[in-house]
């Protein structure tokens, strides 16, 4: 689960890169950059959740 | 506003002398962080902690001098690898001269930039050491510092400071002045904080920190005096660091420098006042170590924005950093099972991000906020997974975590053969009953 989260984070980064190239309009560009950041945060949340799960299992 | 090695800005002799003097004082920031890291660890690991700080700074400096600076591209010469899209060049990596050849003949601006990068790489490598306290082996810490100085920091430093794609966001895409990081908030602090998260994930929590049942065990720092005195030392170092950064990376005129220093002080003061209030309200009394973390978070936040924003905004940023820091420390420990003895993630990563966002909000032309967001996205979405991957591989070669016997007797005896306080009786660890 931690690795899944860590794979999602670069996906968000590439969304940000795509936004810079594809959207000359500042509003839609910023919106897509924010979406990319949101994807990264989602990945980070999954990775943290995975870490919590694995540390709980190590106690069992 | 950013510079590149290809077109360094000419500095007056006065500006050069002042900036060089400031950069010679700036290592006090590193000394302060080292003292805070040591004080927040346990007594039986204090010598190993401070020794580790020295060793990590040394390893980072050597590796950066030998190879890392080649990729950072602060000195003129060399060539960059760029992708082209819509007729715009995105420079991703630079290959300059090896082993600092050409340093003495480089323009003054480039020499100062390189010196600044030496300090920043030392800070970035040092920050995670406090988070791995009491369980991270010295050898592994030095190896991790070498990787940071070899690959991770030079890449980011080139992108942000030496004409890389983040610095060119303004020229290529009209996003303000490109990604701005005059005080090393991104390249040193956020990178260091995210590296700390990777280290914590790999090394795991200290033994007894998260028992099978009940809440996490409090393992308080062993010396609040070290921690609080380290905060004072940090202030001196940070004032020099931020003012020097304003000259080196933003080419600020000398008349603008007192304002940068005032903003740095205001951010730290606002942060301390708000952490003091938050901990007073939550626990009935102000918490010394959390107040120190708040002060440091204010300084870190100022690294991202002190040279760019008005004093009132700096105070607001500091207050925000001081409120967020103790809450994040509590969240990480109690809710997310992240054992971070020095609070590096809350202080350096979160504080640095706050400063970078503030630079986009309170300063700069149109598009600056988007440029700052893109820089933040690069740190979170690319640098964190990259660091985790590299450190996870390194962990297979040089195990991060000390064996359980070493953790039981303390890192001082296990790794150095002698304690920091030989005349003190070290108490038996209650968590091993």
ipTM score for this prediction: 0.96
Cross-chain CB nearest to B373 (options A6, A26, A37): A37
pLDDT at position B427 is: 58
Half-sphere exposure of B30 (CA within 13 A, CB side): 27
- Give dist(CA B346, CA B338) in Å, integer: 11
Contact of B323 with B278, CB cutoff 8 Å: yes
Torsions phi, psi for B84 (to 5 deg): -115, 130
With contacts defined as CB-CB under 8 Å, which chain A residues touch B373?
16, 30, 33-34, 37
Mutation target for A interface from B135, B333, B380: give the one with most A CBs within 10 A: B380
Among the partner residues B205, B377, B384, nearest to A55 by beta-carbon distance: B205
List pLDDT tens digits, range B250-270: 999 999 999 999 999 999 999
- Residue B4, domain member (yes or no): no
| DSSP structure class, residue B148 | I
E strands present in B242-355: none
Q: Which residues of A touch B382 (CB under 8 A)?
A: 9-10, 13
Q: Is residue B7 part of a domain?
A: no
What are the distances in angstroms from CA B135 to CA A45, B42, B43, B140, B277?
25, 11, 13, 11, 33
A46 part of contact set with chain B, CB < 8 Å: no
H or E stretch at B112: helix B108-131
A1 touches chain B (CB under 8 A): no
The residue of B166, B377, B383 whose CB has the most chain A CBs within 10 angstroms, and thus the best one to mutate to test that interface, is: B377
**Structural domains counted in chain B:** 1
On whether residue B415 sits in a domain, the answer given is yes
Report the mean per-residue pLDDT for chain A. 91
A27 to chain B, minimum CA–CA distance in Å?
10
pLDDT given for residue B206 in this prediction? 92
pLDDT-flagged residues of chain B (< 50): 1-6, 433
Chain mean pLDDT for chain B: 92
Residue carrying the six token digits 């106690």? A59
Q: Containing domain of residue B299, as a range?
A: 13-428
pLDDT at site B170: 93
Task: List the 26-45 stretch of A: residues with Cβ below 8 A of B.
Answer: 26, 29-30, 33-34, 36-37, 39-41, 43-44
What is the predicted pLDDT for the residue at B3?
42
**Does B297 reside within a domain?**
yes
Put simply, the answer to whether B85 touches A21 (Cβ < 8 Å) is: yes
Here the CATH number for the domain that contains residue B95 is 1.10.3430.10
Measure the CA–CA gap between B7 and B234, rounded to whole angstroms: 33
H-assigned helices in B164-256: 169-173, 191-203, 224-250
Q: What pLDDT is stored for residue B374 in this prediction?
A: 97
Nearest-Cα distance to chain B for A42, in Å, is 11
Contact predicate B359/B200, CB 8 Å: no
pLDDT at B9: 64
Q: Is the pLDDT of residue A13 over 50?
A: yes
Burial pattern B220-229, b for ≥16 Cβ within 10 A else e, equals ebbbbebbbb
Determine, yes or no, domain membership for B433. Answer: no
Whether residue B279 is contained in a domain is answered as yes
Alpha-carbon gap: B222 to the closest alpha carbon of chain A (Å): 26
- Taking the CA of residue A23 and the nearest CA in chain B, the distance in Å comes to 10
Who's near B312: CB < 8 A, 6+ residues apart? none
- pTM of structure: 0.95
Q: What confidence score (pLDDT) does residue B93 get?
A: 87
Backbone angles phi and psi of B232, in degrees to 5:
-65, -45
- pLDDT one-digit tens code per residue, B287-322: 999 999 999 999 999 999 999 999 999 999 999 999
Within a domain: B2: no
Tell whether B6 is covered by a domain.
no
| CA B39 – CA B56 distance, rounded (Å) | 17
CA separation (Å) from B261 to A9, B33, B99, B236? 36, 19, 34, 10
Q: Which among A16, A26, A29 has the least Cβ separation from residue B381?
A: A16
């Amino acid at each position: 689960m931690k690795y899944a989260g860590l794979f999602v984070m670069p996906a968000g980064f590439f969304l940000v890169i795509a936004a810079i190239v594809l959207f000359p309009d500042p509003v839609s560009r910023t919106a897509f950059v924010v979406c990319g950041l949101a994807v990264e945060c989602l990945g980070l949340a999954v990775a943290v959740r995975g870490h919590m799960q694995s540390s709980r299992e190590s106690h069992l | 506003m950013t510079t590149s090695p290809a077109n360094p800005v000419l500095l007056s002799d006065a500006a050069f002398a002042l900036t060089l003097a400031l950069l010679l004082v700036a290592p006090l920031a590193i000394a302060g962080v080292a003292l805070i890291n040591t004080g927040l660890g346990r007594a039986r690991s204090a010598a190993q902690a401070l020794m580790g700080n020295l060793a990590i700074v040394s390893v980072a400096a050597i590796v950066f001098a030998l190879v890392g600076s080649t990729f950072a591209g602060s000195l003129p010469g060399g060539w960059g690898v760029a992708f082209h899209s819509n007729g715009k060049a995105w420079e991703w990596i630079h290959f300059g001269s090896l082993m600092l050849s050409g340093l003495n003949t480089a323009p003054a601006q480039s020499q100062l930039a390189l010196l600044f990068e030496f300090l920043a790489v030392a800070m970035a490598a040092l920050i995670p050491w406090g988070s791995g306290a009491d369980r991270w082996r010295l050898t592994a810490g030095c190896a991790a510092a070498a990787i940071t100085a070899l690959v991770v920091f030079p890449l980011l430093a080139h992108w942000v400071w030496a004409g890389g794609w983040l610095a060119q966001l303004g020229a290529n895409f009209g996003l303000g002045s490109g990604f701005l990081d005059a005080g090393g908030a991104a390249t040193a602090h956020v990178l260091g904080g995210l590296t700390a998260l990777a280290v914590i994930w790999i090394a795991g929590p200290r033994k007894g920190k998260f028992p099978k049942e009940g809440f996490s065990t409090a393992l308080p720092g062993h010396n609040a005096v070290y921690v609080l005195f380290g905060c004072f030392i940090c202030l001196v170092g940070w004032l020099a660091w931020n003012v020097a950064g304003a000259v080196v990376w933003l080419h600020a005129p000398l008349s603008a420098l007192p304002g940068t220093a005032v903003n740095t002080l205001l951010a730290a003061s606002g942060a301390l006042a708000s952490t003091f209030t938050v901990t007073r309200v939550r626990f009935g009394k102000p918490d010394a170590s959390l107040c120190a973390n708040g002060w440091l978070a204010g300084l870190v936040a100022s690294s991202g924005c002190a040279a760019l924003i008005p004093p009132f905004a700096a105070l607001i940023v500091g207050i925000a950093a001081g409120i967020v820091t103790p809450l994040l420390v509590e969240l990480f420990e109690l809710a997310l099972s992240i054992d971070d003895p020095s609070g590096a993630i809350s202080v350096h990563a979160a504080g640095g991000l706050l400063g970078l966002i503030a630079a986009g909000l309170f300063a700069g032309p149109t598009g600056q906020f988007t440029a700052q967001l893109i820089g933040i996205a690069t740190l979170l979405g690319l640098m964190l997974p990259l660091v985790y991957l590299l450190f996870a591989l390194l962990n297979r070669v040089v195990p991060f975590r000390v064996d359980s016997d070493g953790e039981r007797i303390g890192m001082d005896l296990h790794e150095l053969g002698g304690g920091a306080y030989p005349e003190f009786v070290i108490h038996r660890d209650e968590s091993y009953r």
